[in-house]
Structure 1
Amino acid sequence: MGNASCIFFACVDQASVGVMERWGRFERLAEPGLHCFNPLAGEWLAGLLSTRIRSLEVRIETKTKDNVFVQLLCSIQYRVIKENADDAFYELQNPKEQIQAFVFDVVRALVPRMTLDELFEQKGEVAKAVSEELEKVMGAYGYSIEHILMVDIIPDASVRKAMNEINAAQRLQLANVYKGEAEKVLQIKKAEGDAEAKYLGGVGVARQRQAITDGLRENILNFSHTVEGASAKEVMDLIMITQYFDTIKDLGNSSKNTTVFIPHGPGHVRDISDQIRNGLMEASSARVHGE
């Protein structure tokens, strides 16, 4: 507390309040500006108090419910109540130590009832409890608590390392789960695609064979009607021989084929034609019985 006085005048700065005494007894509060007093009558300016907001940082070390030692960094913003500046001037010799003592008392009574996770989640509740207690106590001494911020919660270094490892393991586990789900979906989609491709391939083969059968039937009928005396068996043999030679020609023109041994006599072609004819007759007979 400063003393800005002269013989008959005293100047009180802006954002300050002066305490005037007469013969050592509190007389009145002096507003900012120039004040006149009479030292011969025992009047003098006992001191000045700043009404600006001040900040006090308090570091508290305590233990949580799950036996973890932590340091809490608390920032208290307070100011002198202008109307009660005389209480702040005369009642407390060191307001910072008084505030710090009450913060220690409240925090060390509240935090040991919380786990470390609860402390991180409810640090606002801790700040609120400290604010309520300080407002109740410091208000009687002419001080107003403006804000209380729980700036930081610092666990022991080994605890921080363990927490980071747990967090990393959980994230890795979650990533593996997502990766497994993605691979599962990929395999399912791949299997569905293969099944669809095989189904469509089967449909294509069936349609191809149906088209071949219809084409052969049409060719046989057209040939039988065009050439008199030609039987269906003779027409089928002719078509089989034609396809046989087309196949040999395709094998010869392809540069990627290796040596292939195939039967090439007319008797073999007749055997193939007999097999195809029997298959067509059996299919027609089964269709007739089914209808």
Structure 2
Amino acid sequence: MEGAIVVLVVIVVLLVVLAIVGALLFGGLRTSLMFTVHTQEAVIVERFGRFKRVAHAGLNFKTPFIDSTTRPVSLRVQQLEVNIESKTKDNVFVTVPVAVQYRIREEQVVDAYYKLSNPEAQIRSYVFDTVRSALSSLELDQAFESKDDIARSVETTLSTRMEEFGFNIINTLVQDISPDQRVRDSMNSINAAQRDRVAAQSLAEADKIKRVTQAEAEAESKRLQGEGVAGQRKAIALGIAEQYEMLRKVGIENSAEQLLLMTQYFDTMQDVARNGRSNVLYLPSNPGAVGGMGEEIRTAMLQSQAAAEASQDADAADARNARRPSAGRARQEAEQQARAAQQQAQDQVPDGYPGDDAPPWAHPGSAHQG
């Protein structure tokens, strides 16, 4: 009888133990006895509300009904985006989106959890304060140029302030500086006007270079043209001098100038006919007019020769009458003789073309026959 009672007691104890174990493993006691922590997370264990320890990744145990756990604290890199509206030094309101990347240090999880009630709000406050302080001393154009400097200033300030709370500021990014739409339109208009001005200056400079180059080329062309004309005139003068000497050698000495002038006249007429812009050249068409031209040429030669002879006679008379008081009268007589010789030379010209086929100036001795 006593053995049966002992067996019954043992069975009851076993059932109670099994019930307790089952309740711990499959009931609510399991969650109060053990818990798991994920990678890159940390859980704080508290005993009656007081910090006990930090549970890291893996399976962890706690005392049931005595210990409690907090929400998991993430150890991953997190990003907080803050949109800040502020005013620049030149009174332009801008919106600055700032992205702050941070993480909680594993060895300072307790500080990050207990010292700050709302870490994100604290970070926003520091970002607002730093960005507004930086923008208030910069004009709009300088703010665009100093975007990286503002980001570094925010990162430095946050790193210093949040380090004691267990937060590590990894990076701070100022994504953009966005003024009002009207301000952006005005800036675009200013930039467009500046670019138009630069383009106009470039075009003007190019036109100036082109005009200067053309002027230099034209000046060089005219210089070379002048040298060519000067060389041509020099060659013509030398040729005339040579012709004059040749005429003197053949006996046409006194009428050589008129002959050369007429030669140049005919050369000029030929050049006008060849190179002139007009297609029409008016010349005498009847034989009498052509003969008149030859008569004029011959008359001019005879007049020149007669005048030269009269001048020579007058010089001789002056020399003979140098001692006489009537030297002026001799000069007048010599001039009368010269006019008479000129008239005689004109009388020798026939009404038509000159007597033979050869021109009068081809006979050097004909002038002395009068």
Report the TM range for the smaller structure's normalisation.
Answer: 0.7 to 0.9
Tell me which amino acid in the other structure corresponds to 1:15. Q
Tell me which amino acid in the other structure corresponds to 1:118. Q
Residue from 190, 206, 209 that aligns with 1:166 = 190
Deviation for aligned residue 1:74: 0.8
Q: Does 1:13 align with 2:34?
A: no
What are the within-5 Å matches in structure 2 for residues 101-250 of structure 1? Answer: 101-218=125-242, 229-231=250-252
Tell me which amino acid in the other structure corresponds to 1:19. I
Separation in 2, partners of 1:104, 1:271: 115
Residue from 237, 253, 266 that aligns with 2:294 = 266
Residue from 115, 118, 140 that aligns with 1:94 = 118
Tell me which amino acid in the other structure corresponds to 1:178. S
| Structure with higher helix content | 2
Kindly provide the CA deviation profile for residues 108-147 of structure 1, in whole angstroms up to 9, marking residues without a partner as x: 3332232222322323332233223222322222111111
Residue from 63, 70, 82 that aligns with 2:106 = 82
Query: Are the aligned partners of 1:224 and 1:231 in contact in 2 as well (CA < 8 Å)?
Result: yes
Larger radius of gyration: 2
Query: Are the aligned partners of 2:33 and 2:64 in contact in 1 as well (CA < 8 Å)?
Result: no
Q: Does 1:64 align with 2:92?
A: no
Normalised by the size of structure 2, how large is the TM-score? Answer: 0.61
Deviation for aligned residue 1:217: 4.1
Query: Are the aligned partners of 1:73 and 1:152 in contact in 2 as well (CA < 8 Å)?
Result: yes
Unaligned runs of 5+ in 1: 274-291
| Structure with higher strand content | 1
Deviates more, 1:78-87 or 1:22-31: 22-31
**Where does residue 51 of structure 1 map in the other structure?**
75
Change (3 A) 1:71 1:269: farther
Query: Are the aligned partners of 1:240 and 1:269 in contact in 2 as well (CA < 8 Å)?
Result: no
Kindly provide the CA deviation profile for residues 167-197 of structure 1, in whole angstroms up to 9, marking residues without a partner as x: 2222222332333333333333322222222
Deviates more, 1:127-136 or 1:154-163: 127-136
Deviates more, 1:250-259 or 1:63-72: 250-259
Deviation for aligned residue 1:75: 1.0
Q: CA RMSD in A?
A: 3.4
Query: Are the aligned partners of 2:88 and 2:139 in contact in 1 as well (CA < 8 Å)?
Result: yes
Query: Are the aligned partners of 1:22 and 1:41 in contact in 2 as well (CA < 8 Å)?
Result: no
SS in 1 for 2:189: helix
Tell me which amino acid in the other structure corresponds to 1:259. V
Unaligned runs of 5+ in 2: 1-29, 285-289, 302-370
Tell me which amino acid in the other structure corresponds to 1:181. E
Separation in 2, partners of 1:208, 1:72: 81
Deviation for aligned residue 1:267: 5.3
**Where does residue 5 of structure 2 map in the other structure?**
none
Q: Does 1:257 align with 2:278?
A: yes
Query: Are the aligned partners of 1:37 and 1:44 in contact in 2 as well (CA < 8 Å)?
Result: no
Query: Are the aligned partners of 2:32 and 2:65 in contact in 1 as well (CA < 8 Å)?
Result: no
Separation in 1, partners of 2:275, 2:215: 34
Kindly provide the CA deviation profile for residues 35-73 of structure 1, in whole angstroms up to 9, marking residues without a partner as x: 331333734543322221111111111112221111111
Tell me which amino acid in the other structure corresponds to 1:16. E
Deviation for aligned residue 1:235: 7.5
Tell me which amino acid in the other structure corresponds to 1:182. A
Paired-residue identity, %: 37
Tell me which amino acid in the other structure corresponds to 1:89. Y
SS in 2 for 1:40: coil
Change (3 A) 1:254 1:129: closer
Change (3 A) 1:214 1:271: farther
Separation in 1, partners of 2:299, 2:222: 32
SS in 2 for 1:77: strand
Query: Are the aligned partners of 2:37 and 2:60 in contact in 1 as well (CA < 8 Å)?
Result: no
Change (3 A) 1:103 1:250: closer
Change (3 A) 1:212 1:39: same
Separation in 1, partners of 2:131, 2:276: 90
Deviates more, 1:134-143 or 1:230-239: 230-239
Q: Does 1:30 align with 2:64?
A: no
Change (3 A) 1:267 1:71: farther
Separation in 1, partners of 2:296, 2:109: 124
Deviation for aligned residue 1:82: 1.1
SS in 2 for 1:180: helix
